[in-house]
């Protein structure tokens, strides 16, 4: 690992911008910015202002993604796109997605004086929905760009019953024009994303930056265990069909099976109904998120969880159901673009960067359907993410932006 990088002015500004975006939140005392919300609109407007300051021509597309573009050595060239997302989970940290967007703007800012030498246009994108927090399906913004908008999404409702269609209209989008967000592969030269690692591997290895080899594709489900709600005092055990006890058995099996099979599976939300202190739970609804380095292993894990849930339900007189709400295939990062990321990291002093696969999902997965993609990870404190404790150092961010810029130069060198 190289010595500490001097903290650059651009890194300081990038971190200030992360703080500024964190203040655009629907959650008092915390960070939450979800797809098609008023906070999403404000964050896009703020990011558009920064893009304009960096010399980019800006527009918001019909899926709510915010774009900026710097022409290359001639107008209309295919673009190298740098980006990430501005939406967040609930009670989020301030760097997931956001650091990638503000770093991309800094790279564009640095390159603008020399853009007329670039053999591609440079675009920056702030995607609208990577997390899926509001509508329980992820990557809606980048999937629209990849031409993979699913018409069934329009009728999906959030927790308050507001559908995607209603939210899009309130946001000022025209649902009939969502297809206009799709980009043609011929107009793209590739997609590069800088993102915090969201895990502890770089920190353990003592490295600031890493090259992502592939991105695991998550499958997400809403699960139901149905039993019978009855009197908590009056119902003897042999007569109970307790949905929560059955669900608890499934939750423990999710962890055990994931460890056994080398995958990662999480029940992040679980609710028992009717929720009375003196009522045997008759229904449990829960979420399930399943990942693995290889899609086949992930799918195997899903089937093992399903088989366990059905077996538990047979034994306890309940029923078990998993309904898929999101599925993304795992994606391999492009060899050539990843070599440019490695060159970029080498330019910051780490000649043999760590290579790692991403356990977290990213917009790059959706973009891979239309253009080659590569990713640069930045170390985060204690591997914490999707929580308010998310943190990065100024030195690592400075090094990350330097590496990102050097990677763009390397892509340009290879395309000349
Ligand atoms: C996105 O952050 C994910 O859940 O992987
Ligand atoms: Mn993210
Ligand atoms: Mn995230």
User: What tens digit of pLDDT does each residue of 16-55 get?
Assistant: 999 999 999 999 999 999 999 999 999 999 999 999 999 9
How far, in Å, is the centroid of ligand 2 from the Cα of 302? Answer: 23
Tell me which of 131, 196, 359 to substitute to probe ligand 1's pocket, judged by most ligand atoms within 8 Å of the beta carbon.
131
Which atom of ligand 1 is closest in space to residue 385's alpha carbon?
2
pLDDT of residue 7: 57
Tell me which of 87, 134, 198 to substitute to probe ligand 1's pocket, judged by most ligand atoms within 8 Å of the beta carbon.
198
How far, in Å, is the centroid of ligand 1 from the Cα of 285? Answer: 21
pLDDT of residue 416: 83
In sequence order, the β-bridge partners of residue 163 are 157
The enclosing H or E element of 342 equals helix 335-346
Share above pLDDT 70 across residues of the chain, in percent, rounded to a whole number: 98
Contact 361 CB / ligand 1 (< 6 Å):
yes
**pLDDT per residue over 248-295, tens digit each?**
999 999 999 999 999 999 999 999 999 999 999 999 999 999 999 999
> 70-100 burial, b for 16+ CB within 10 Å, e for fewer?
bbbeeeebbbbbbbbbbbbbeebbbbbbbbb
**pLDDT surpasses 50 at 140:** yes
Q: Which ligand is nearest to the CA of 126?
A: 2
In this structure, the number of other CB atoms found within 10 A of the CB of residue 155 comes to 10
Confidence of residue 4 (pLDDT cuts 50, 70, 90): very low
CATH topology match: 9-216+330-415 vs 217-327:
no
DSSP 38-101: HHHHHHHHHHHHHHHHTT-EEEE-TTS-EEEEE--SSTT--EEEEEEE----TT--S-TTHHHH
pTM (2 d.p.): 0.90
How far, in Å, is the centroid of ligand 1 from the Cα of 289? Answer: 10
Confidence of residue 179 (pLDDT cuts 50, 70, 90): very high
Q: Which ligand is nearest to the CA of 386?
A: 3
Which atom of ligand 1 is closest in space to residue 360's alpha carbon?
5
More confident residue, 2 or 102: 102
Contact 360 CB / ligand 1 (< 6 Å):
yes
How far, in Å, is the centroid of ligand 3 from the Cα of 224? Answer: 25
Domains of the chain, residue spans: 9-216+330-415, 217-327
**pLDDT per residue over 146-159, tens digit each?**
999 999 999 999 99
Confidence of residue 100 (pLDDT cuts 50, 70, 90): very high
How far, in Å, is the centroid of ligand 2 from the Cα of 238? Answer: 47
pLDDT of residue 205: 98
Residue 370: which of 128, 123, 180, 183 has the closest Cα? 183
pLDDT of residue 137: 85
Average pLDDT over residues 131-144: 94
Average pLDDT over residues 172-190: 98
How far, in Å, is the centroid of ligand 3 from the Cα of 77? Answer: 32
Q: Which ligand is nearest to the CA of 100?
A: 2
**pLDDT surpasses 50 at 3:** no
How far, in Å, is the centroid of ligand 3 from the Cα of 328? Answer: 15
CATH architecture of 9-216+330-415: 3-Layer(aba) Sandwich (3.40)
Average pLDDT over residues 172-178: 98
Structure tokens at 33: 């910015």
Rounded Cα gap, residues 87 and 36, in angstroms: 9
Query: Is 3.40.50.300 the CATH number for 217-327?
Result: no
- Read off the DSSP letter of residue 327: E
**pLDDT surpasses 80 at 211:** yes
Structure tokens at 99: 């650091």
The alpha-helical segments, DSSP class H, found in 224-321 are 243-261, 295-316
Which atom of ligand 1 is closest in space to residue 362's alpha carbon?
1
Q: Which ligand is nearest to the CA of 84?
A: 2
For ligand 1, atom 1: residue with the closest CA = 361
**pLDDT per residue over 349-402, tens digit each?**
999 999 999 999 999 999 999 999 999 999 999 999 999 999 999 999 999 999
Three-state DSSP at 289 gives strand
Calculate the alpha carbon distances from 160 to 133, 134, 157, 165, 170 in Å.
13, 10, 7, 14, 15
Indicate the average pLDDT of the chain.
96
């Amino acid at each position: 690992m190289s010595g500490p990088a001097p903290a650059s002015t651009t890194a300081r500004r990038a971190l200030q911008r992360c703080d500024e975006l964190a203040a655009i939140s629907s959650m008092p005392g915390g960070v939450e910015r979800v797809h098609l919300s008023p906070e999403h609109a404000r964050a896009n407007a703020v990011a558009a202002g920064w893009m304009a300051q960096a010399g980019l021509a800006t527009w918001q597309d019909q899926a709510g993604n915010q774009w900026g573009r710097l022409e290359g050595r001639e107008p209309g060239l295919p673009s190298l796109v740098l980006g990430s997302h501005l939406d967040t989970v609930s009670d989020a940290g301030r760097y997931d997605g956001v650091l990638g967007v503000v770093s991309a703007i800094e790279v564009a800012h640095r390159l603008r004086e020399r853009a007329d030498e670039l053999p591609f246009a440079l675009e920056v994108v702030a995607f609208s929905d990577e997390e899926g927090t509001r509508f329980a399906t992820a990557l809606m913004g980048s999937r629209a760009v990849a031409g993979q908008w699913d018409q069934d999404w329009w009728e999906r409702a959030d927790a308050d019953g507001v559908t995607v269609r209603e939210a899009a209209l309130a946001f000022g989008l025209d649902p009939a024009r969502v297809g206009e967000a799709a980009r043609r592969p011929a107009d793209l030269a590739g997609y590069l994303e800088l993102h915090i690692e969201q895990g502890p591997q770089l920190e353990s290895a003592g490295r600031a930056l890493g090259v992502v080899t592939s991105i695991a594709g998550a499958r997400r489900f809403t699960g139901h265990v149905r039993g019978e709600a009855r009197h908590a005092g009056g119902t003897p055990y042999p007569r109970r069909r307790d949905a929560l006890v059955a669900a608890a058995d499934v939750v423990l099996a999710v962890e055990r099976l994931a460890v056994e099979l080398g995958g990662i599976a999480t029940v992040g939300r679980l609710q028992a109904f009717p929720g009375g202190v003196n009522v045997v739970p008759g229904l449990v609804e829960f979420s399930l998120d399943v990942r693995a380095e290889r899609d086949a292993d992930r799918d195997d894990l899903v089937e093992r969880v399903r088989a366990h849930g059905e077996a538990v339900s047979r034994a306890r007189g309940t029923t078990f159901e998993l309904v898929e709400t999101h599925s993304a295939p795992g994606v391999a990062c492009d060899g050539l673009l990843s070599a440019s990321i490695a060159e970029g990291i080498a330019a910051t002093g780490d000649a043999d960067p760590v290579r790692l696969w991403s356990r977290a999902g990213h917009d790059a997965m959706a973009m891979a359907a239309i253009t080659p993609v590569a990713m640069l990870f930045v170390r985060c404190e204690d591997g914490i993410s999707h929580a308010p404790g998310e943190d990065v150092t100024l030195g690592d961010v400075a090094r990350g932006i330097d590496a990102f810029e050097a990677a763009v130069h390397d892509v340009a060198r290879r395309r000349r």
